[in-house]
């Protein structure tokens, strides 16, 4: 059990008005159909966070991996069956966790408001609440998403840790996300971890000139003793959602190459410097970028469905 920490929360109470939401989404969508929905989500997330504060990183990863495949439609939550192989089985999703928390939230919401709140909205709301508990912005989440009807492993194409900045920018741009927003979203690594295998190429042979020698020496010892060891991507305030991640990049203390390259590439380095020097700016941009990411490819209105069980389509298939 991890120790619960009381962390100050920055509240942007009026940062995202209804007018900025994607068509069909709105802040307070469930205010009349399920007024307790957001408070139920928050309560369950708070309970889990008090037991395991790493749930923030888990939910951020889940939200990203869901939104960047078929859109934010909870297709990642679908379990595979004997007939179909869902997104969940792709290697890129092998380390995604927190599915049990989404199940717990869904069960609690269904008990009060049956077939009303989508699993896609639960992911978005739970992620926001976990971010706030970790010291990040408590941004408003427009809701009204519907759950998707397709989950296919063949659709999963996610960027790996060795992708170049130009390639990463192209990937995000295809989803309507600009470079500054991309750099802000990667600030989620402030509470993330990576296993040695994802950055081992930076440690072997010739020293990597873009990594702080003291950090490299430390990681070499750690990864030699345990090749599957998990390493905090923010070596200073690893359990806090703050701008320290960017400060570490400016000191050549990025763990994965893609992180360090953010501070070196001319298209992203100005944003790294800006976020490192201005915590409030990072918090604001992070919240706004999370909202924008949460609007990628959403289903609304009569599209899709509202799943009763987040792991299974309502017709019982995957």
All residues at 6 or more sequence positions from 270 whose CB lies less than 8 Å from its CB, including other chains: none
Return d(Cα 236, Cα 259) in angstroms, integer: 15
Annotated catalytic residue, options 63, 65, 189, 195: 65
Integer-rounded Cα Rg, in Å, for the chain is 19
**Residue 195 catalytic?**
no
Q: Which residue has the tokens 């941004």?
A: 139
Return d(Cα 247, Cα 232) in angstroms, integer: 15
Helices and strands counted in the chain (H then E): 11, 2
Q: Is 56 left (phi over 0), alpha (psi -120 to 50) or beta?
A: alpha
| The total number of residues written for the chain in this structure | 318
Residues with catalytic function = 65
């Amino acid at each position: 059990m991890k120790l619960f920490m009381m962390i100050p929360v920055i509240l942007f109470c009026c940062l995202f008005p209804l007018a900025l939401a994607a068509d069909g989404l709105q802040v307070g969508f469930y205010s009349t159909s399920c007024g307790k929905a957001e408070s139920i989500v928050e309560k369950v997330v708070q309970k889990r966070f008090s037991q395991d504060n790493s749930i923030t990183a888990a939910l951020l990863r889940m939200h990203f991996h869901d939104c960047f495949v078929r859109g934010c439609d909870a297709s990642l939550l679908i379990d595979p069956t004997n007939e179909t192989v869902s997104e969940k089985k792709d290697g890129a999703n092998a380390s995604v966790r927190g599915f049990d928390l989404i199940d717990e939230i869904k069960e609690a919401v269904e008990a009060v408001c049956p077939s009303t709140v989508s699993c896609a909205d639960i992911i978005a709301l739970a992620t926001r609440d976990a971010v706030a508990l970790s010291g990040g912005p408590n941004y408003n989440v427009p809701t009204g998403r519907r759950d998707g009807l397709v989950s296919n492993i063949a659709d999963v194409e996610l960027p790996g840790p060795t992708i170049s900045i130009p390639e990463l920018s192209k990937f995000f741009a295809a989803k309507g996300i600009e470079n500054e927003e991309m750099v802000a979203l990667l600030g989620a690594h402030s509470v993330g971890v990576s296993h040695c295998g994802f950055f081992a190429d930076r440690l072997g042979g010739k020293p990597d000139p873009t990594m702080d020698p003291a950090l490299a020496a430390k990681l070499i010892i750690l990864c030699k003793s345990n090749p599957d060891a998990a390493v905090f991507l923010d070596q200073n305030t690893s359990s806090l959602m703050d701008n320290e991640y960017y400060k570490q990049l400016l000191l050549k203390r990025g763990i994965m190459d893609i992180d360090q390259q953010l501070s070196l590439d001319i298209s992203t380095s100005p944003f790294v410097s800006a976020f490192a020097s201005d915590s409030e700016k990072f918090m604001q941009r992070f919240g706004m970028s999370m909202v924008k990411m949460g609007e990628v490819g959403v289903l609304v209105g009569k599209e899709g469905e509202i799943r009763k069980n987040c792991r299974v389509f309502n017709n019982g298939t995957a």
